[in-house]
């Protein structure tokens, strides 16, 4: 099995005006400070967090009751991980000191036996490990482990790493296959991938042992959560939980599709891929491939959103992708990026990077306002504000982003994703560099036989022109050609057209580079129409518009309403214009269309169609919607 390395955050210097460079800077300058204030309950009119206060109470430094979700600790963990990545690219002594103080507080809240969880320490101190199915002890531990590994890499400081190593050993003393231990696993997966990260940093065999155990034990008979429920409730449950919601419906190695809660399912998939990589387990890797094929072939929105139902925040069934009630949680698309990165670490297939890119430029980006101070938990593909206010079926669909949430998993998750984007840009296999995402900047990469620097000059995805200046040496550049440009691209070196061997979506350029060479890859990012499979009922007779990796939408601020009355004729041609002062700088698309008009008829039903007239349609990137107040929005539009 291949074990490819990844680019490192500290070695990636993204241009500040690049798409991801802007967002990294926004996270550093605005999001991280804003979220710290929120965790300390110092943001007026924002939902209460109480996260830091929970730790102070657990440490015996304040009095009061635990407040928030059972997984409230994870908000601080994700914030610390975002801080770690930020420090890797731009040292900030003041921010580091703040993080150190938070870590010291975490240490003071840890029990003598290594246990760490403020909910149980403060609220139910006698009930540790009695409800793994519902109460997120292992989930919180996993997020804090990820933060510990990242913070150690960023600063070399071991305090949080040592805290979480103690916690891992405590978990190992309680859970496992050995006699006298609970034969359990997490209800909300996350710790599996986190343990793999701890293993890579510490080399402690307990980490990999636990990660593999949690993967292999899940869904086996006798099923632990049934046993746990009977023990907790003192009676047998009235029905046998099928287990789909939390992915324990079958042993992991027998699963063929992503089921249930979408974030849990994708964290599990990421953990499976990580354990497969670290243990050379080809069977587990094949499980990941099966899950991926079902996901992208039948259960993913065009925006990279996943999890279509508000009930259980869950996958439902193949092709069930409603637009107006879509759940498509921000965290689920973030988890999809984690899964795709893990797959790229073992399998050089450009489709994984295509999927990751789709999620990053669309649902993930839409999860945060352009100023970094408001956030979406749910990412629908169609919004009618009155329905959100008055129809319970649409209550989860918000037409504007709130400042914060009582269940605030998404904002700090998005912060750590964007702050650590350097981890996703390249993978390295021996002396081959695979370019997974294109962002202007300068990148230092360690190959098997030499260290190199790549300079990328591009304003992708605004433009499809990508100029690469590789440093001297003999190695292979593997340039990804995204799916939307597979049939139309050009490649030249030093101004001369070249033909390159292709392998699974990559152009393989092996040569001895002089240090003065320039590679130019030009991709086709022109607007295109995208049609859903005929089994996606909501999209029958409709079309979506995309440009490069960016999906577009119609928003009320630019178009006549109701948007449901708009049609895009098949023959309409798109015009493109870059507007630097609109929505942070976007390429706006316009086309001729038609709109139904109010002809004065007040009948609910009639035997003649409403009149239509010509109108100009204006499309903006989906990620930029809801930054100009409340209004309608739609991704798919009628075609005719």
Cβ atoms within 10 A of the Cβ of 22, count? 17
Contact yes or no for 445/426 (Cβ under 8 A): yes
Cβ atoms within 10 A of the Cβ of 60, count? 10
Given a cut of 90, is residue 88 above it in pLDDT? yes
Where a domain ends, among 381, 407, 424? Answer: 424
Per-residue model confidence as pLDDT tens digits over 26-62: 999 999 999 999 999 999 988 899 999 999 999 999 9
Paired tokens of 542: 């409709």
Do 320 and 341 reside in the same domain of the chain?
yes
Do 71 and 134 reside in the same domain of the chain?
yes
Q: Which residues are catalytic?
A: 313, 409
pLDDT category, 238, cuts 50, 70, 90?
Answer: low
Do 398 and 256 reside in the same domain of the chain?
yes
Where a domain ends, among 465, 489, 523? Answer: 523
Contact yes or no for 636/567 (Cβ under 8 A): no
pLDDT category, 406, cuts 50, 70, 90?
Answer: confident
Do 484 and 566 reside in the same domain of the chain?
no
CATH number of the domain enclosing 477: 2.60.420
Given a cut of 70, is residue 370 above it in pLDDT? yes
pTM check: above 0.85: yes
Where a domain ends, among 381, 406, 424? Answer: 424
Percent of the chain with pLDDT over 90: 94
Do 497 and 590 reside in the same domain of the chain?
no
Do 279 and 411 reside in the same domain of the chain?
yes
Q: Alpha helices, DSSP H only, in 457-592?
A: none
Task: With CA atoms as reference, report the closest residue to 190 among 74, 88, 102, 301.
Answer: 74
CATH number of the domain enclosing 252: 1.50.10.10
β-bridge partners, 428: 5, 433
Do 567 and 587 reside in the same domain of the chain?
yes
* CA 519 and chain centroid, separation: 31
- Domain holding 150, by residue range, is 5-424
Task: With CA atoms as reference, report the closest residue to 371 among 565, 166, 112, 626.
Answer: 626
Measured CA to CA in angstroms, residue 540 lies from 121, 299, 321 at distances of: 53, 16, 12
Do 57 and 197 reside in the same domain of the chain?
yes
Cβ atoms within 10 A of the Cβ of 603, count? 6
Cβ atoms within 10 A of the Cβ of 97, count? 10
Do 480 and 554 reside in the same domain of the chain?
no
Do 353 and 501 reside in the same domain of the chain?
no
pLDDT category, 237, cuts 50, 70, 90?
Answer: low
Task: With CA atoms as reference, report the closest residue to 164 among 151, 175, 177.
Answer: 151
Do 269 and 409 reside in the same domain of the chain?
yes
Task: With CA atoms as reference, report the closest residue to 352 among 415, 291, 443, 416.
Answer: 291
What percent of the chain is helix, strand and coil (3-state, nearest 5)?
Answer: 40, 20, 40
For residue 240, with 0-12 CB atoms within 10 Å meaning exposed, 13-18 middle and 19 or more buried, which class applies? exposed
Per-residue model confidence as pLDDT tens digits over 268-285: 999 999 999 999 999 999
Give the chain's domain count: 3
Do 153 and 275 reside in the same domain of the chain?
yes
For residue 444, with 0-12 CB atoms within 10 Å meaning exposed, 13-18 middle and 19 or more buried, which class applies? middle
Given a cut of 70, is residue 442 above it in pLDDT? yes
């Amino acid at each position: 099995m291949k074990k490819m390395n990844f680019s490192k955050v500290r070695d990636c210097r993204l241009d500040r005006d690049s798409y991801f460079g802007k967002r990294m800077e926004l996270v550093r300058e605005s999001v991280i400070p804003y979220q710290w204030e929120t965790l300390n309950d110092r943001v007026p009119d924002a939902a209460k967090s109480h996260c830091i206060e929970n730790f102070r109470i657990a440490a015996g430094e304040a009095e009061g009751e635990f407040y928030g979700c059972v997984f409230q600790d994870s908000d601080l963990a994700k914030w610390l991980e975002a801080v770690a990545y930020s420090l890797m690219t731009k040292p900030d002594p003041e921010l580091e000191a703040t993080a150190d103080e938070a870590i010291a507080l975490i240490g003071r809240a840890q029990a003598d036996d290594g246990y760490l969880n403020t909910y149980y320490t403060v609220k139910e101190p006698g009930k540790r490990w009695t409800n793994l199915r519902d109460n997120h002890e292992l989930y919180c531990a996993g997020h804090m482990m990820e933060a510990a590994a990242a913070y150690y890499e960023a600063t070399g400081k071991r305090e949080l790493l040592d805290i979480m190593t103690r916690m891992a050993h405590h978990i190992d003393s309680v859970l496992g296959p050995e006699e006298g231990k609970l034969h359990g696993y997490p209800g909300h997966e996350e710790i599996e991938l986190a343990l793999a990260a701890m293993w890579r940093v510490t080399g402690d065999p307990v980490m990999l042992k636990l990660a593999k155990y949690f993967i292999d034990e899940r869904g086996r008979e006798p099923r632990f959560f049934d046993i746990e429920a009977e023990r907790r409730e003192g009676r047998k449950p009235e029905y046998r939980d099928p287990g789909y919601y939390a992915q324990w419906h079958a042993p992991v190695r027998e699963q063929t599709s992503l089921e249930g809660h979408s974030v849990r399912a994708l964290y599990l998939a990421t953990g499976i891929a990580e354990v497969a990589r670290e243990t050379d387990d080809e069977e587990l890797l094949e499980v990941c491939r099966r899950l991926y094929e079902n996901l992208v072939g039948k259960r993913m929105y065009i925006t990279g959103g996943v999890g279509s139902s508000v009930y259980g925040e869950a996958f439902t069934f193949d092709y069930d992708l409603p637009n107006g009630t879509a759940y498509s949680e921000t965290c689920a698309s973030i988890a999809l990026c984690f899964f795709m990165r893990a797959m790229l670490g073992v399998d050089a297939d450009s489709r994984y990077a295509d999927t990751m890119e789709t999620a990053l430029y669309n649902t993930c980006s839409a999860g945060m306002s352009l100023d970094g101070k408001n956030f979406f938990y749910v990412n629908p593909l169609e919004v009618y504000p009155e329905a959100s206010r008055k129809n319970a079926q649409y209550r989860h669909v918000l037409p504007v982003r709130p400042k914060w949430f009582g269940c605030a998993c998404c904002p700090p998750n998005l912060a750590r994703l964007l702050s650590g984007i350097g981890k996703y840009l390249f993978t390295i296999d021996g002396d081959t560099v695979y370019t997974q995402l294109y962002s202007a900047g300068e990148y230092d990469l360690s190959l098997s036989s030499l260290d190199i620097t790549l300079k990328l000059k591009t304003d992708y995805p605004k433009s499809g022109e990508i100029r690469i200046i590789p440093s001297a040496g003999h190695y292979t550049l593997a340039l990804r050609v995204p799916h939307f440009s597979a049939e139309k691209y050009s490649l030249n070196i030093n101004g001369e057209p070249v033909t390159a061997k292709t392998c699974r979506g990559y152009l393989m350029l092996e040569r001895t580079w002089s240090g003065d060479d320039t590679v130019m890859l030009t991709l086709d990012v022109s607007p295109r129409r995208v049609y859903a499979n005929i089994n996606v009922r909501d999209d029958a007779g409709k079309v979506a518009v995309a440009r490069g990796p960016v999906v577009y939408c119609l928003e009320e601020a630019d178009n006549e309403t109701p948007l449901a009355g708009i049609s895009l004729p098949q023959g309409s041609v798109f015009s493109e214009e870059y507007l630097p002062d609109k929505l942070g700088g976007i390429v706006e698309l316009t086309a001729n269309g038609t709109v139904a008009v109010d002809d004065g008829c007040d009948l609910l039903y009639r035997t003649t169609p409403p009149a239509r007239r010509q109108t100009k349609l204006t499309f903006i990137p989906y990620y930029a919607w809801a930054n100009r107040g409340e209004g309608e929005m739609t991704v798919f539009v009628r075609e005719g």
